[in-house]
Amino acid sequence: MRMWTREELYRPLKEKAEIADLHDYVSKSAYRQAYHVQPVTGLLNDPNGFILHKGVWHLFYQWCPWGAVHGIKYWYHVVSKDLIQWKNAGICIRPDTDMDNYGAYSGSAISAKDAICLFYTGNHRDPDFVRKPKTCLVKLYDDGRTAKLPWPLFDENPAYTENQRDPKIIYVEEKKSYYMLLGAQNAAMRGCVLVYESANLVDGWFFAGSLHVPGFEDFGDMWECPSIERICGRDVLMFCPQHIYLPRRGKAVNHSGYILGEMDWDRLVFTPSGSFHVLDFGFDFYAAECAANFKSADHTYLTAWMGLPDGSYPTDEEGWQGCLTLPRELSVRDRRLIQKPLPGLADLRNKEVRPSEMILPESCEMMVMCSGGDLELRLFTRKDLSGGLVISYQEEFHMITVDRSGMNLRINPEQGEIRQHLIDNELTQLRVFIDRSSVEIFVNEGDAVFTARVFPTEEEGNFYLSPNANARIWTLKSAVVDDFCA
């Protein structure tokens, strides 16, 4: 891999022409997605500022234009009317002031009268390269103009390490107050959440305290992207604990998950009613974000970065990396979240193809109905049905296994190439969304989801399904406009 100097990594993008050649090259990649949000060039990581504002869905992502590296970060903007069809809308937040001189890091949004208020972390570094994170505000007006508040809402908190970022804005009705959650690391190098409060979005912010989560005082050394959501009348604390091993997660140390419980905004205590669950049992899933939903708890939608903080992928060589997951609709059943694909995805179905031919279309949906017994679905096999990504079900333990070690192009093998999960009930259905370089497997209508990037080579275009199951397959239409908008 190419080595990047600090100057190259943090060079601001002055004009679109500077990445025109890279865009030309990237857009020819065989791995460009047909219905997932992906970067015009360079690297995409966290989704940010996900919100419905005046009938339009706005979503932003962390973007480094120069290549598949974590250098300077912009907020790139995409819009949708239905969460299915997405259009590029260009850069929204530029790291163009001293307070965000090394990047406009992750954050969230709230809808105001004539604008969306975007809160983000200014990744400020002083002349000695010491990081001093600032919490900043940009207003995106309905006419497309943006205005950045020229000073931070608040500076770094000296009682915590330099790792404090990813403001999540929440309005708490019963307190008639705004709260901002920040992912952080305390002086004992443990992950935690900082809570700020204000009656007003633009000023008056003060540090209210560190969120107490009994039983989770020692759970990884940093918590990124925290949020508290209200889903089906339950409180859900979502965050990404880092540098911790979890059962059946191989050597992965970064996780995106949640705890169900009860939030007490007076005492700043989140009382868990169960354990930490990962949101996704697959490989490439991080920094999940729910669309702002404090006004209506009817629907909660979630999307995430289909990638990992320390992952590398075959497209790195082509100058791009990362995409977002399909938005999913969340609900709570018993002690867990259920995640369903959106009903509108059915509109992307194009042609139904005959499974008996065992040819896997490039972008398709596969619906597998299971009638009992063990099962094996091998995707992206060679013509002789060898290799590929293997999804298997062992009835005796209700165990689903996803193994991608058989693919020609191996991805982050050091983190483990097999993921396993025990489902509560018998397997009845697998709904698999396949794009040119990803697979999202919804088990039993959202009981569990496995997400994986895959990079099939030309010879990996077939599939095999055990005879005790039936499949229907539809090719899917494109739903993202892959144009050069910056």
Binders of ligand FRU: how many residues, by CB under 6 A? 14
Tokens 């909660």 locate to 300
Output the smallest distance, CB 69 to ligand FRU, in A. Answer: 11
Tell me whether residue 193 or residue 448 sits nearer to ligand FRU (CB atom). Answer: 193
Structure token digits, residue 57: 């869905």
Which parts of 76-115 interact with ligand FRU (CB under 6 A)? 105-106
Q: Among 100, 166, 280, 435, which residue interacts with ligand FRU (rule: CB under 6 A)?
A: 166
Between the alpha carbon of residue 202 and those of residues 79, 161, 393, the distances in Å are: 25, 25, 52
Output the smallest distance, CB 352 to ligand FRU, in A. Answer: 38
CB 194 within 8 A of CB 184: yes
Structure token digits, residue 416: 């483990």
Active site residues: 46
Please tell me whether residue 121 binds ligand FRU under the rule CB under 6 A: yes
Distance CA 20, CA 355 (A): 41
Q: Among 36, 165, 328, 404, which residue interacts with ligand FRU (rule: CB under 6 A)?
A: 165
Tell me whether residue 44 or residue 391 sits nearer to ligand FRU (CB atom). Answer: 44
SS3 percent helix, strand, coil of the chain, rounded to 5, is 10, 45, 45
Distance CA 209, CA 403 (A): 43
CB 94 within 8 A of CB 74: yes
Output the smallest distance, CB 479 to ligand FRU, in A. Answer: 25
Tell me whether residue 307 or residue 387 sits nearer to ligand FRU (CB atom). Answer: 307
Is the torsion defined by CA of 418, 420, 426, 427 positive or negative?
negative
Please tell me whether residue 185 binds ligand FRU under the rule CB under 6 A: no
Please tell me whether residue 45 binds ligand FRU under the rule CB under 6 A: yes
Output the smallest distance, CB 54 to ligand FRU, in A. Answer: 27
Please tell me whether residue 229 binds ligand FRU under the rule CB under 6 A: no
Residue 28: CB atoms within 10 Å:
9
Tell me whether residue 108 or residue 437 sits nearer to ligand FRU (CB atom). Answer: 108
Distance, CA of 136 to chain centre: 22
Output the smallest distance, CB 332 to ligand FRU, in A. Answer: 25
Distance CA 48, CA 43 (A): 14
Structure token digits, residue 373: 């017994």
Tell me whether residue 62 or residue 462 sits nearer to ligand FRU (CB atom). Answer: 62
Tell me whether residue 62 or residue 451 sits nearer to ligand FRU (CB atom). Answer: 62
Using alpha carbons, select from 404, 397, 409, 407 the residue that is nearest to residue 451: 404
Which parts of 330-369 interact with ligand FRU (CB under 6 A)? none
Please tell me whether residue 325 binds ligand FRU under the rule CB under 6 A: no
Output the smallest distance, CB 238 to ligand FRU, in A. Answer: 13
Helix (H) or strand (E) holding 158: none
Distance CA 458, CA 378 (A): 16
Q: Among 156, 224, 235, 280, which residue interacts with ligand FRU (rule: CB under 6 A)?
A: 224
Residues found near ligand FRU in the complex (CB under 6 A): 45-46, 62, 73, 105-106, 121, 165-166, 224-225, 286-287, 309
